Amino acid sequence: MDKYGNAEDISYKKIIAMVDEELGIVELIEEHPCPNGAQWVIYQYQRTSPLIISAWREGNNHHFILKIDKCRLKLVPSLSAAGIEQVFVKDDNVHIIYAGLAGAGVGVELRKNAENVVDAILHEEGGGSKLGKGVVITPRMEKVIIGIDDTDTKEEGATWVLANEIGKLVEKEGIGYYIDHTIIQLYPGNPDKTQNCVSIALTFAVYPKYKYKIKELIKNHLKEKSLSDKTAMAVYYGITPSKSMKLYTCKAKRGMVSVEEAKAVAMRNNIDIIKIFEKDGGIIGAVAALGLAEHHDIAAKLPDDFE
């Protein structure tokens, strides 16, 4: 590592791999060492590797949706310089094989010191004009999205603040990683709203043994801290919210929807609905938070800007 500079400065900070074996996909999140990440990596990997279904960057976090499969990369300098050639799950770990030319070929070495990496094995040393190849191994994790609504009153409280507190609590307890916090704008004409009519989606990468414990942890925290008697949460286990979930969220942004509609969407998508107290009020918003949890721009829009 010394030949590439200070290890702490150039190492990836964190790597997370969340598995959905039913769909045969992995969501890989890599925290890049540079302040705003590297769009070049996103572009080159997606261009080069047929295993990549989609890829995007949020700050210095690189996201890849990957098929659990293998392929042969046709590496060409500048044009297709680096990519991922195999993804597989073995026991409790995810194995990701990278390959690249020149500077793109030193990536395995730069990932081995990242948080949450079990091991990194260099097969061929890159740099200069050489091919670099190796495998990065991370613990198998699963994705959990939790919608929360109605924790405040007209006089006090803020659901987004309490939700953020919950996200940090999950990390502190060692259950997994707090990946995302999304504010979903719902129908502003709702006569039952407290003020701005939003709900919150929290996204986590969770170690499998804590997959269901996270639900109880958040439920108990909401029971203790919520200021409303209408609080509810909705829990979705999966990497990609379904089309029906997204359509329901869009409908809840445009106008009034019923609790029965929310429950029907939840039943269709194996979403757990949990009333923190006895009333149903927060169920609509909690379920609606899930569909656009990772579509931040759309989630924030008002109905007039949403078409």
DSSP string, 251-285: HHHHS---HHHHHHHHHHTTPEEEESSS--TTHHH
Tens-place pLDDT, residues 207-254: 999 998 999 999 999 999 988 888 999 999 999 999 999 999 999 999
pTM: 0.92
Count each helix (H run) and each strand (E run) in the chain, helices first.
9, 12
Cβ neighbours of 88 (radius 10 Å): 14
* Whole-number Å distance between alpha carbons of 243 and 249: 10
Q: Is the four-CA dihedral 89, 90, 91, 93 of positive or negative sign?
A: negative
- Mark out the alpha helices in 66-212 (DSSP H runs): 107-111, 159-172
* Whole-number Å distance between alpha carbons of 216 and 207: 15
* Comparison of pLDDT for 128 and 259, the residue scoring more: 259
Residue 190 has a pLDDT of 73
Residue 27 has a pLDDT of 98
Tens-place pLDDT, residues 148-159: 998 876 667 688
Give the chain's domains with CATH numbers: 2-139 (no CATH), 150-305 (3.30.70.2200)
C-beta of residue 146 within 8 angstroms of C-beta of residue 204: yes
Pairing of strands 14-20, 131-149: parallel
